[in-house]
């Protein structure tokens, strides 16, 4: 795939490669795409939460934090 980027984006990627942050232009672009996909998934998850809240499907903070503490304990204990 051949992608044409504006000069400012090319310069930014080349600077990241030149500083050693990435080994190649391809690695830098791949990381950018990975972050873009991750951001889109986060937006979708946030929208699910908004939709649930709009329908009144909420949990009080005590319940949520109890669940988080249990998950953390389980993760710690293996």
The pLDDT tens digits for 26-55 are: 999 999 999 999 999 999 999 999 999 999
Is there a domain that residue 40 lies in?
yes
Is there a domain that residue 44 lies in?
yes
pLDDT of 78 higher than 80: no
pTM: 0.67
pLDDT band at 14 (very low <50, low <70, confident <90, very high): very high
Element (H, E) at 33: helix 25-54
- Residue 27 in contact with residue 16, Cβ under 8 Å? no
Is there a domain that residue 2 lies in?
no
Query: How many separate domains does the chain show?
Result: 1
Is there a domain that residue 1 lies in?
no
Residue 39 belongs to domain spanning: 7-77
């Amino acid at each position: 795939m051949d992608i044409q980027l504006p000069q400012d984006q090319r310069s930014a990627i080349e600077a990241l490669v030149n500083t050693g942050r990435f080994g190649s232009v391809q690695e830098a672009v791949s990381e950018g795409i990975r972050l873009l996909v991750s951001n889109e998934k986060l937006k979708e998850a946030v929208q699910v939460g908004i939709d649930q809240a709009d329908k009144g499907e909420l949990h009080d903070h005590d319940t949520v934090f109890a669940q988080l503490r249990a998950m953390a304990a389980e993760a710690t204990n293996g």
